[in-house]
Amino acid sequence: MRTRAKTIAAAVAGRAWPVAGAWPGPTLDVWTGRLRRWGALELERGRAFLMLPVAMGAGILLYFAAPAEPALAAPLMLLALLCLAAFRLRERYAAFLVVSALAAMAGGFAAATLKTQWIKHPVLAGETGTVKIEAWVEAVEKREAGDRLTLHVITMAPAPPQIPQRIRVTSRTRTSVAVGQAVTLAARLRPPADPAAPGHYDFGRDAYFMGLGASGFIIGAVTIGATSATGDPPWPVQLRARLDSVRTAISTRIRAAIPGPAGAIADALVSGKRDGIPEGINEAMRAAGTYHILSISGFHMALVAALIFAVVRGGLALVPSLALTRHVKAWAALVALLVSTVYLVISGAEVATQRSWIMIAVVLVGVALDRGALTLRTLALAAIAVLLIAPESLLGPSFQMSFAATLALIAGYVTLRPWAERHSGDPAGWGRSLLIVTNGVIGLATSSFVASLATTPYAAFHVNAVHLYGVAGNLLGAPIIEFFVMPLQILALLLWPFGWDKPVWALAGLGIDLFVRSGEWVASWPGGRVIVPSLHPTGLLTLSAGFIILGLFSTPLRWLGLPAVALGLLMAPDGQRPLLLVDGEGATVAARAPDGTLRVVSARGNRFAVQRWLSGEADRRSATDETLQEGVRCDSLGCAMPLAGGGRIAVPRHPDALPDDCHEARIVVTRNDPPPGCAAIVVDLRAIAWTGALRIHAEAGGLRVEAARPMSAERPWFRPRPPGVAPPVLRFPSRSAAAPSADLPAESGLGPDLEEIDPEPAQ
């Protein structure tokens, strides 16, 4: 296949660039020839293989977009048939490429389906009262105001219809429990949270893939010991307990040598425990663009691997008998891989750290085999491994941002480095300058800028914010961690058995103090954090396709990615401001006021949901801002406020308020049946059990409803729905209802003959 591609490239190479003065016009034949030549060169350079993880990602997206859970046999059979067809068509290159791409898509779809079936577990159907729980402790996270426990459930009383196997509960006080212990406690549980609005972060889906079936709050004290806990805990709990004992010993040693926040950061860099870092420092690091340094990810894994590789290879190179006769580079790579694996285990082996380890492992194995380390093929192999093991990670910001940054860095490196090396002989030339740039401090700034540029769209999509000073923050802070703190921490761990580690930890603490000061200084610069409105997923997909084309292709075909990037930027702004928002519990309602801003109409508010709604509109107010209640009138029977476009919205607390609200309001949001002849549009909150959070838009043809959970869809991570038929989300006035015409906007198109409407799924 490569021979054929090389033959095609050689056949057209002679007429690739006409001489000056004889440049042909932009005829169809000329462009067809160029496209063939460029396509042949891309195939010759192995770019087809680089598209396999892209095709797998497309298959995973198709899986998560499916309205119902697919049968496992279907994608597996399709994958087998496509692999067989690709083998039979291996001599017909064009057909082979097409079928291989389809097989990769089927592989991604099958991997996601298999992962979902493999981890299948019950999810709590609804909120419980106080329940008594006996469980094994799997994880303990210490926070500023209490602990958060992950529990492996033994018994639960009274038992709900679906007893979750693993739960996560929060205590407002310290619990003094350890991983591996059996505990007894009382708690109130609820299903994992639905998205705050259609298209927002889906904690319920992520909780399902983490094995969590419920979350809640602890009531009272936690008692160590459980009457039903006989024998040893399950082996996963035992493994976690042994690992946690090692991590706890490391944390205790570090924090004894480095007091205060610096010790908490030093602990986070080694053990992955970030529970002691003050929230103010976290916010400052986010504003400075250096928060990724506080969490063990690709930065730390690559740093540890590079340091160990350099030290081992340099040490072995000092022994001539080994350096001249043995493959010491491979030995150094294998030692670095072993240390990276130990680091993975000590740090807690979180999902993001696992992805980083996979990428580092692929790189180090390539080095041991004398293959290029920083190549696009290595990145593709790492992406394939991650997508096979954790297909759900494709939808998360960690996967998207890490691979976007790595793709941008490697693509820039492989593009500029060969040209710079060819021109490096000229002492004053640009090639020599570029070599200096790629190896010096300016190279760090360039790398930070490229990585920040590549990850900005994904940060804007997931957190509705862009930090402008990330390059400056990383330029100041990253070298401190890279060249000072991390080497000292590795040295301290090596000196621990000999008792000489504490002075080294203290010296590392001085570097961490300097790192924190630099981050806080950058964070103090004005205008560093820009709030952006919600972006449409279609725009992000189009933008990503453009980035992939720009990064993976090597011929002028790569510039086809620029129109895709431009189109994605044009499509990215959502531009739709809803009239009404309801959270996934039906407890919080926000509506558009006449001045165009949101107001919280319900007396009980979910601050997290309100904050996400405000961020989605680039509204800088916080969820506790007093202006969110301006114009809202509440009494013992309910709340009401004027609406944008005319009329009022009412959220009654008691059924006795419904008759008056139906007569006076344009929209009524309630869980109760409206009285006959209600003249208002009724939003039935009982439908929330089927739809999750709602976003309702006022349009020329009436009202349009978006639901976080489409009524016709059913997936394992959806909250179990009640039996029976789902009520309609909207009920419109009947023909006999006398709705005040002044309360309806003239362009709404809501006539008295409209009765009810079902929601459309969120796109």
| Domain CATH code at residue 191 | 2.40.50
| 630 within a domain of the structure (yes/no) | yes
Give dist(CA 713, CA 709) in Å, integer: 7
pLDDT at 742: 37
Q: What is the mean pLDDT of residues 717-732?
A: 87
Residue 351's pLDDT band, with cuts at 50, 70 and 90, is: low
Least confident of 16-20, 196-200, 672-676, 752-756: 752-756
pLDDT at 21: 44
Tell me the two tokens of residue 586: 């039906």
pLDDT at 18: 45
Give dist(CA 274, CA 296) in Å, integer: 10
| 66 within a domain of the structure (yes/no) | yes
Nearest to 349 by CA among 428, 242, 478, 498: 242
Residue 632 shares a structural domain with residue 696: yes
pLDDT at 20: 43
Residue 329 shares a structural domain with residue 349: yes
Give dist(CA 368, CA 378) in Å, integer: 13
Residue 335 shares a structural domain with residue 217: no
Residue 471 shares a structural domain with residue 363: yes
Q: DSSP state, 24? A: P
User: Is the model's pLDDT at 14 over the cut of 70?
Assistant: no
Residues β-bridged to residue 224: 183
Residue 214 shares a structural domain with residue 188: yes
Residues β-bridged to residue 635: 638
Residue 702's pLDDT band, with cuts at 50, 70 and 90, is: confident
Higher pLDDT among residues 155 and 1, named by residue:
155
pLDDT at 522: 92
Give dist(CA 753, CA 2) in Å, integer: 67
pLDDT at 322: 83
Higher pLDDT among residues 525 and 272, named by residue:
525
Residue 433's pLDDT band, with cuts at 50, 70 and 90, is: low
| 707 within a domain of the structure (yes/no) | yes
Higher pLDDT among residues 147 and 354, named by residue:
147
pLDDT at 427: 55
Residue 114 shares a structural domain with residue 137: no
Residue 10 shares a structural domain with residue 157: no
Residue 52 shares a structural domain with residue 144: no
Q: DSSP state, 126? A: S
Residue 17's pLDDT band, with cuts at 50, 70 and 90, is: very low
Give dist(CA 710, CA 693) in Å, integer: 10
Give dist(CA 194, CA 707) in Å, integer: 11
- Highest-pLDDT range among 191-205, 219-233, 296-310: 191-205
Nearest to 253 by CA among 346, 352, 357: 346
Domains in the chain, number:
5
281 within 8 A of 261, measured Cβ to Cβ: yes
Hey, is 70 helix, strand or coil? coil
Higher pLDDT among residues 59 and 604, named by residue:
59
598 within 8 A of 611, measured Cβ to Cβ: no
Helix axes 441-463, 470-480, angle to 10 degrees: 120
pLDDT at 26: 60
Give the DSSP H/E element, type plus range, for residue 217.
Answer: strand 214-224
| 421 within a domain of the structure (yes/no) | no
Q: Quick: pLDDT tens for 582-593.
A: 998 888 999 999
Least confident of 69-83, 419-433, 452-466, 657-671: 419-433
Higher pLDDT among residues 176 and 545, named by residue:
545
Higher pLDDT among residues 751 and 401, named by residue:
401
Residue ending a domain, among 179, 201, 233, is 233
Query: What region, left, alpha or beta, does residue 260 occupy, with left being phi > 0 and alpha being psi -120 to 50 degrees?
Result: left
pLDDT at 115: 96
Residue 652 shares a structural domain with residue 757: yes
User: Is the model's pLDDT at 438 over the cut of 70?
Assistant: no
User: Is the model's pLDDT at 533 over the cut of 60?
Assistant: yes
Residue 66 shares a structural domain with residue 151: no
| 415 within a domain of the structure (yes/no) | no
Nearest to 642 by CA among 616, 676, 666, 611: 666
Q: For the whole prediction, is pTM greater than 0.75? A: yes
Higher pLDDT among residues 421 and 246, named by residue:
246
Tell me the two tokens of residue 149: 């426990």
Residue 725's pLDDT band, with cuts at 50, 70 and 90, is: confident
As a whole number, the mean pLDDT across the chain is: 84
- Residue written as tokens 């593709």? 380
| 240 within a domain of the structure (yes/no) | no
User: Is the model's pLDDT at 551 over the cut of 70?
Assistant: yes
Residue 630 shares a structural domain with residue 724: yes
pLDDT at 418: 64
- Highest-pLDDT range among 401-410, 546-555, 720-729: 546-555
Cα end-to-end distance, the chain, whole Å:
41
Give dist(CA 303, CA 483) in Å, integer: 9
Least confident of 161-170, 201-210, 525-534: 525-534
| 422 within a domain of the structure (yes/no) | no
pLDDT at 636: 85
pLDDT at 74: 94
Q: Quick: pLDDT tens for 452-472.
A: 888 889 988 988 888 888 888
Q: What is the mean pLDDT of residues 294-298?
A: 71
pLDDT at 478: 83
User: Is the model's pLDDT at 2 over the cut of 70?
Assistant: no
User: Is the model's pLDDT at 382 over the cut of 60?
Assistant: yes
Give dist(CA 605, CA 369) in Å, integer: 58
Residue 230's pLDDT band, with cuts at 50, 70 and 90, is: low
Residue 110's pLDDT band, with cuts at 50, 70 and 90, is: very high
pLDDT at 762: 44
CA 471 to centroid of chain Cα atoms: 22
Residues β-bridged to residue 590: 581, 600
The boundaries of the domain holding residue 554 are 537-571
Nearest to 763 by CA among 566, 557, 534, 589: 534
pLDDT at 106: 96
Residue ending a domain, among 178, 200, 233, is 233
Residue ending a domain, among 92, 118, 144, is 118
Q: What is the mean pLDDT of residues 231-238?
A: 84
Letter string b/e over residues 46-65, b meaning 16 or more CB atoms within 10 A of that residue's CB: ebbbbbbbbbbbbbbbbbbe
Least confident of 131-140, 154-163, 320-329: 320-329
Hey, is 202 helix, strand or coil? coil
Residue 714 shares a structural domain with residue 602: yes
Least confident of 77-86, 311-320, 368-377, 654-663: 368-377
The alpha carbons of the chain give a radius of gyration, in whole angstroms, of 29
Q: What is the mean pLDDT of residues 691-715?
A: 87
| 113 within a domain of the structure (yes/no) | yes
